[in-house]
Amino acid sequence: MVEQDYYELLGVPRGADEAAIKAAYRRMAKECHPDRHNGCRDQEARFKAINEAYDVLKDPQKRAAYDHFGKAAFQNGAAHDPFGGGGFEGFSDIFSSIFGDFMDPRGARQNAARGADLRYDLELTLEEAFTGIEKTIAIDALGTCEPCHGRGCATAETCAQTCSTCGGMGKVRAHQGFFVVERGCPTCRGSGEVISDPCRNCQGEGRAIQKRKLAVQIPAGVDDGTRIRVAGEGEAGVRGAAAGDLYLFVHMKRHPIFAREGTTLIAECPVSFTTAALGGAIELPGVDGHKVEIKIPAGVQSGEQLRHRGAGMSVLNGRGRGDLVARILVETPTRMSARQKELLEEFRATETGDECPAAKSFFGRIREMFG
Ligand SMILES: [Zn+2]
Ligand SMILES: [Zn+2]
């Protein structure tokens, strides 16, 4: 199923305000309410999707997270618990790092100035995820303005004059019914200061779009869905305020041999029917570069799983390794020489039925059914 954008679902532009979103939702919900369509499945699914979209967009915090991370913001990445207290954060932590400033009792001043968090999608091979790796990534984002060193002013004398709108508080108060609402000052954008002669390069923001290269450390054992926080490497803040954080979202490339379930590596291994009957061994190229020999016991069945302990993936932020599992697929020959056929015919002539006990019992039950 194609995932539809929440804004598209409700038919509103990305910048739509709360009232517009609410109105669009009401209209759509009325249109595709299941009661009106005699339980038509498509309409029901659409109704659900619309509700899901509205649930997120009506809530400013969820909406900001969605704008930032897309639906990934609401998926459970916290199931992996990779770095303990280290570089990793589950969703709730991402939430608090984005929105923490809103809740900060020090107020709006900091909030308006902090740089936004950034997302970077990183694709890794199984081998890279196994060993861990340093990657150099290129980012195009707001960085500290070089000519003014992030201060936003053309000369030192024009820097940091107290904003007259808010008196340097960085926020203004407005009455809304019974409530007094505080919001960021529109003149100084929450910084509490104005600049009479702004820097030409950044127009007083103290930050400008820059290309930069960044070396990031990827620990061993990361998997699809692992998020790594690189503190302070997001967008630069306004006029020297704190920078946002950078979040690396790990995606795994397909591997030609191994599928992965957590720390377990699984390989589908076709073996000839003679090897399955007589036993033998196969060699797999291990993820660590060493060969792994899998012993095949005589009489192995198709679908049987042979486990090789400690030959799987590394454990994220832990010790040891998972297992390697060889899933046996017994292959029936399709191209045989006349001599091979002759030998097999000879084998069949000597069969008593005891060679394959499962088949014997199966056909025995069939015979019983026919009486
Ligand atoms: Zn102000
Ligand atoms: Zn500047």
CA of 107 to the centre of ligand 1 (A): 13
Is the model more confident about 46 or about 311?
311
Q: What tens digit of pLDDT does each residue of 186-230 get?
A: 888 787 878 888 899 998 889 999 999 999 999 999 999 999 999
pLDDT at 69 over 60: yes
Q: What tens digit of pLDDT does each residue of 282-293 get?
A: 999 999 999 999
Look up residue 309 and give its two tokens: 């302990």
Is the model more confident about 39 or about 135?
135
Residue-level pLDDT at 103: 37
CA of 201 to the centre of ligand 2 (A): 5
Single out the residue of 91, 60, 214 nearest to residue 141, CA to CA.
Answer: 214
Residue-level pLDDT at 184: 86
Tell me the whole-structure pTM to 2 decimals: 0.60
**Ion ligand 2, residues whose Cβ is below 5 A away:** 145, 148, 199, 201-202
Q: What tens digit of pLDDT does each residue of 229-247 get?
A: 999 999 999 888 899 999 9
Amino acid at 120: Y
What percentage of the chain carries pLDDT values higher than 70?
A: 84
What percentage of the chain carries pLDDT values higher than 90?
A: 48
Query: What distances in angstroms separate CA 367 from CA 164, 190, 355, 364, one per listed residue?
Result: 98, 86, 19, 5
pLDDT at 169 over 70: yes
Is the model more confident about 98 or about 294?
294
pLDDT at 124 over 70: yes
Band (pLDDT 50/70/90 cuts) for residue 152 is: confident
Query: What distances in angstroms separate CA 369 from CA 24, 249, 353, 356, 366, one per listed residue?
Result: 64, 58, 19, 20, 5
CA distance linking residue 124 with residue 248, whole number of Å: 12
Residue-level pLDDT at 187: 85
Is the model more confident about 242 or about 178?
242
Residue-level pLDDT at 263: 96
Residue-level pLDDT at 335: 94
Amino acid at 92: S
Band (pLDDT 50/70/90 cuts) for residue 82 is: very low
Give Cα 121 distance to the centre of its chain. 8
Residue-level pLDDT at 163: 87
CA of 168 to the centre of ligand 2 (A): 21
Would you call 257 helix, strand, or coil by DSSP? coil
pLDDT at 2 over 50: yes
CA of 199 to the centre of ligand 2 (A): 4
Residue-level pLDDT at 90: 37
Mean pLDDT, the chain, as a whole number? 83
pLDDT at 31 over 60: yes
Q: Which ligand places an atom closest to the C-alpha of 197?
A: 2
Residue-level pLDDT at 17: 86
Q: Which ligand places an atom closest to the C-alpha of 109?
A: 1
Q: How many CA atoms lie within 13 A of 14 on its CB side?
A: 6
pLDDT at 162 over 90: no
Mean pLDDT of 114-121: 93
pLDDT at 153 over 70: yes
Residue 148, Cβ neighbours under 10 Å: how many?
26
Q: Which ligand places an atom closest to the C-alpha of 189?
A: 1
Residue-level pLDDT at 183: 85
pLDDT at 32 over 60: yes
Q: Tell me, what DSSP letter sits at residue 90?
A: -
Residue-level pLDDT at 258: 97
Amino acid at 297: P
Q: Tell me, what DSSP letter sits at residue 264?
A: E
Would you call 12 helix, strand, or coil by DSSP? coil
Residue-level pLDDT at 143: 94
Q: Which ligand places an atom closest to the C-alpha of 206?
A: 2
Residue-level pLDDT at 210: 92
Is the model more confident about 221 or about 77?
221
Backbone phi, then psi, for 15, in 5-degree steps? -90, 10
